[in-house]
Structure 1
Amino acid sequence: MPFPAIPLTLPELRERVRRLEGGDRRLRGALPFDVGEIDRRLPGGGLALGSLHEVAGGGNGAVDGAAAALFAAGVAARTKGPVLWCVVRQDLFAPALQQAGLLPGRVIFVEAGDERELLGSFEDCLRHGGLGAVVAEVAKLSMTASRRLQLAAEGSGTMALALRRWRRQTEAADFGQPTAAVTRWRVSVMPSAPLPVPGVGRSRWLLELIRCRAGECADFEVEACDDQGRIALAAPLADRSAPADLARHRAAG
């Protein structure tokens, strides 16, 4: 006589789903941003190593696209080992990567002839192992291709960063399609913080976590990567807290 099935508790269900999704990523570790508000949103307290992550600009313009590239460079800069950057177009400005903490001596550029060749190079580089991260500038990313990249990243433990770049509007719509990426980020440029003297302040971004496997979506106002590849939550504007302070002062009076 078969025994009746015992209902699983919520933690047991989560554990079973985690195993089906590819094993315990905590064993491979995670790369924290060292920003508590962001790391708390990510399972494992950071970006999972040995996994695929997607990054794109918030708009179709070059400015947001450059911000997305700098965000990816900052993440790659904080990994250990060489970084491979796969491109189709020869328009990457290497000195900007250095400003985001990714030094020229760590980067190996791989130039592909077309998008199909680029995806093949992306996967081969991930399977090689011994790398800190592999970044690839891709326009389209199908579920099949992303699964292959995710499996390659899991096998080697190398972080995979798919930097989504488009030549035309129709390609931009592809970013909304499902992929096997563990996280998906969108970066948009915001006005920089005002300085006490005339000049240009540190760049600010609207950083949107629009997909996170086993996590929740969120958005953050952050200061752009420094020369160590680190971001920071944007400091509140000087006049934001004034009304609250004034109200407390009046209440105390």
Structure 2
Amino acid sequence: MSARSPNPALAALRQQVAAIEGDGGPPPAVLPFDIPELDRRLPKGGLVLGCLHEVAGGGGGAVDGAAAACFAAGIAARLNGPVLWCVTQADLFAPGLEQAGLPPDRVIYVDAGDDQGVLACMEEGLRHGGLAAVIADVARLSMTASRRLHLAAKGSGTTGIALRRWRHPTEASDFGQPTAAMTRWRVSVLPSSPLPVPGVGRARWLIELIRARAGESLDIELEACDGTGHLGLPAAVADRSAATAGRHAFG
């Protein structure tokens, strides 16, 4: 993954889009992933906070949403303050979220019963303004509903994450419908990195940045969130990047 020179035309276009979408207020805060190949595809070099984002699981993960939930938890873990998590059924595995950096004492769970209740709770949480993030499990997300959530997030500065989960893989086609989310992600499970001793290595994900407003799409293989919520480069990729940097440094 060698660094590329920024495209001046693309940078100018991003500024124009940001000016059109802006409200004249201060620039929004950004949460970098600290993965250069990923951050440079995102506007302002990271995940823009105080707006709506979408995350879904890929393959079989479209139903269980485990990797997608841990990806969302890793983002929320790196923000300061409590997290509101709205669900339609109480099937989240709290120890798994804690492994992704989000301990139970930071999470307020709300069982809203159905998608309509989840969306209402999510909007109320975003408008509250005293939360680090609001995450909601939702199967269907219309443009109208997503627009309300995005505006609520912008108004309070609270980050919203719509965790798209479906009860059957055939329902996942709804993820192709347009929404007002700032970014749209899909996270799929890959085989863990082999270890030199018996055991299971750190989980690996295929992370697809399907849409980034004023940004670029990307798919990249990364190690899953650690106990601080950070993603990691697989060892082979990191070593290759270091070797490439060395060649650049020493000719």
| Fold conserved between structures, TM > 0.5 | yes
Alignment-derived partner of residue 93 in structure 2: 93
Please report how far the alpha carbon of residue 114 of structure 1 lies from its aligned counterpart in structure 2 after TM superposition: 1.3
Structure 2 residue matching 1:229: 3-state secondary structure: coil
Gaps of 5+ in 2: 1-8, 244-251
Q: Deviations over 1:172-218 (max 9, x none)?
A: 11001110000000001111111111111000000000000001100
Please report how far the alpha carbon of residue 12 of structure 1 lies from its aligned counterpart in structure 2 after TM superposition: 6.7
Separation in structure 1 between the aligned mates of residue 58 and residue 164 of structure 2, nearest angstrom: 11
- Structure-1-length-normalised TM-score: 0.85
Separation in structure 2 between the aligned mates of residue 40 and residue 113 of structure 1, nearest angstrom: 39
Structure 2 residue matching 1:79: 3-state secondary structure: coil
Alignment-derived partner of residue 181 in structure 1: 181
Alignment-derived partner of residue 3 in structure 1: none
- Higher deviation after alignment, 144-153 or 13-22: 13-22
Alignment-derived partner of residue 51 in structure 1: 51
Structure 2 residue matching 1:233: 3-state secondary structure: coil
Please report how far the alpha carbon of residue 153 of structure 1 lies from its aligned counterpart in structure 2 after TM superposition: 0.3
Alignment-derived partner of residue 202 in structure 1: 202
Structure 1 residue matching 2:44: 3-state secondary structure: coil
Please report how far the alpha carbon of residue 170 of structure 1 lies from its aligned counterpart in structure 2 after TM superposition: 4.0
Structure 1 residue matching 2:221: 3-state secondary structure: strand
Work out whether residues 137 and 165 of structure 2, in 8 Å CA contact, stay in contact via their aligned partners in 1. yes
Alignment-derived partner of residue 213 in structure 1: 213
Separation in structure 2 between the aligned mates of residue 188 and residue 126 of structure 1, nearest angstrom: 28
Within-5 A mapping of 1:1-253:
14-23=14-23, 27-61=27-61, 65-236=65-236
Please report how far the alpha carbon of residue 137 of structure 1 lies from its aligned counterpart in structure 2 after TM superposition: 0.4
Amino acid at match of 2:19: R
Amino acid at match of 2:208: E
Work out whether residues 101 and 226 of structure 2, in 8 Å CA contact, stay in contact via their aligned partners in 1. yes
Gaps of 5+ in 1: 1-8, 245-253
1:199–1:237 distance in 2 versus 1, CA, 3 Å: farther
1:183–1:233 distance in 2 versus 1, CA, 3 Å: same
Structure 1 residue matching 2:34: 3-state secondary structure: coil
Separation in structure 1 between the aligned mates of residue 10 and residue 219 of structure 2, nearest angstrom: 27
Structure 2 residue matching 1:44: 3-state secondary structure: helix
1:236–1:170 distance in 2 versus 1, CA, 3 Å: same
Work out whether residues 50 and 157 of structure 1, in 8 Å CA contact, stay in contact via their aligned partners in 2. yes
Structure 1 residue matching 2:136: 3-state secondary structure: strand
Separation in structure 2 between the aligned mates of residue 232 and residue 18 of structure 1, nearest angstrom: 29
Work out whether residues 190 and 206 of structure 1, in 8 Å CA contact, stay in contact via their aligned partners in 2. yes
Cα RMSD (Å) of the superposition? Answer: 2.4
1:201–1:88 distance in 2 versus 1, CA, 3 Å: same
Q: Deviations over 1:78-128 (max 9, x none)?
A: 011110000011111111111110011110001102110110100000000
1:91–1:23 distance in 2 versus 1, CA, 3 Å: same
Alignment-derived partner of residue 5 in structure 2: none
Work out whether residues 63 and 165 of structure 2, in 8 Å CA contact, stay in contact via their aligned partners in 1. no
Work out whether residues 51 and 150 of structure 1, in 8 Å CA contact, stay in contact via their aligned partners in 2. yes
Work out whether residues 29 and 44 of structure 1, in 8 Å CA contact, stay in contact via their aligned partners in 2. no
Separation in structure 2 between the aligned mates of residue 196 and residue 10 of structure 1, nearest angstrom: 44
1:145–1:17 distance in 2 versus 1, CA, 3 Å: same
Q: Which entry has the higher C-alpha Rg, 1 or 2?
A: 1
- Structure-2-length-normalised TM-score: 0.86
Separation in structure 2 between the aligned mates of residue 219 and residue 24 of structure 1, nearest angstrom: 33
Amino acid at match of 2:123: E
Amino acid at match of 1:95: P
Please report how far the alpha carbon of residue 171 of structure 1 lies from its aligned counterpart in structure 2 after TM superposition: 2.3
1:190–1:63 distance in 2 versus 1, CA, 3 Å: farther
Structure 2 residue matching 1:230: 3-state secondary structure: coil
